[in-house]
Amino acid sequence: MKIDIKPDVFDTFVDPVCIIGSDLRSVYFNPSFSNLIEESSIAAVKKKPVTDFITLEDFDWERLKLACKAYLDSPIREVIYRTKNHTGKVQLAWRSVKDSNGDYNVLIYFRDVSLEETLSRKYKEELSKKEETIKALDQHLFQVSLIRDVLQRTNTFDDPLVMLRNLYSHLIGILNIDFALYFKQEFKGGPLQLLAQSDNGTIVGRDVRNYSEEIKSKLSKEQHYNEILDNYFWIDFHYKDDSELEKYFVFVKNKEFTYDEQNLLETLSEPLSFSLDNRDLFKKAMTDEMTALYNHRYFKVRLESEIRDHADRKKTLGLLLLDIDHFKKFNDTYGHLTGDKVLKEVASCIKDMCRSTDVPARYGGEEFACILPDIAKDDIMTIAERIRKGIEKTLIQTDEFGVLKVTASIGISHFPKHGDTIKGLISSADSALYEAKRAGRNNCKIKN
């Protein structure tokens, strides 16, 4: 049955969408709806009423049948839903849409708010415990701003060590700290790593990197780091990783910490520890379930943040938009399960070909995006080509169809030349992607 709007416009939506007829069977549903009801088979979903796959609490399905006879729509409302293995909460709205015969169907739009509520509740519980601290911080706008920056940075990097290295490099200049160290456990904790150091980060005339070798040697003799650093001033922070192993981070100064510096570090330690302990929860909130890359929502938030940061620092930011060539035809030929495998393999290749500081994301459907922070203009095309060639060489093993191969087209833009807003950068990269397809696909194009 044809719909007067093209349903495939919803294929790239992060939120679930389905269109049903008067028998409550699906006329169309996007991949996100398939994930919501935990059913990947198109045939299975279209065979039965939607009510067989999802239950909505206090929801009048009969009203949807009326919407198939005359135009009706609904306000947005929140309802509890239940599927085969999951219960949660969605924001829901629906409206009548006409097919090519002039008959009405019903388009239903869902927005899963369960995970957002869980994160919100955890933050509210944590912040309520610190009401006294927050009141004090309200008098120190600088500290409030810095805490917000810390929490944002803990959500920015997959690897906590990468996050902390960037965070500590940022804090060292503000707090006049000479250097920061990292190691596992209090004794025999190697490998000890220098996280960051100030421009003048020396001890008794020696470079901190050399001094860290002495610390490593003393740690191997089971000396606690407070004995090793007994001639200096230090503040430590630690947390347990997923394997319950203590990890230590130590700020070191040649002179005594001021009251404000000590108070700031102690204030930061608890929300930072909370964020690290719950990073798996954060990761789920910002990760695409199928490909394990960042999701579309996080990509937009991160791109906006990076644009602001690069504008402040007057640095170049790259953006890649990537589309798998002829993916719809590929899906039609080999089926959606094989298509899903292709998406996972391509996503894995993109992640492998990127730098550790890059931000690869699933943009939607067969489209991917990658943010390239702090990059020289000439290096953007180098990384794009590396990704394109990596995908071209990827062999996708399948039981039913043997070895399959795919290619991809990539559009490139960069800040600030091609735009200083999300819309401008994405539009420029999308235009370049169109040029790459028009030039025969399996190539990279950059906006002039």
Task: Catalogue the active-site residues.
Answer: 366
Which letter, b or e, does each residue of 24-43 get, where b requires 16 or more Cβ atoms within 10 Å of its Cβ?
Answer: bebbbbbbbbbbbbebeeee
Contact 188, 222 (CB under 8 A): yes
Measured distance CA(366)–CA(323) in Å, rounded: 6
What's the maximum distance between 2 C-alpha atoms anywhere in the chain? 85
How far apart are the C-alpha atoms of 261 and 251, rounded to whole Å? 11
DSSP string, 42-103: HHHHHHSBGGGT-EETT--HHHHHHTTTS--B---EEEEEE-SS-EEEEEEEEEEEEBTTS-
**Side-chain half-sphere exposure of 1, counting CA atoms within 13 A:** 18
367 and 411 in contact (C-beta within 8 Å)?
A: no
Q: Is the peptide bond before 191 cis (omega within 30 degrees of 0)?
A: yes
Q: Where are the alpha helices (DSSP H) in 248-317?
A: 259-277, 279-285, 296-313
Q: 205: phi > 0 → left, psi -120 to 50 → alpha, else beta; which?
A: left
| CA–CA separation, 379 and 170 (whole Å) | 25
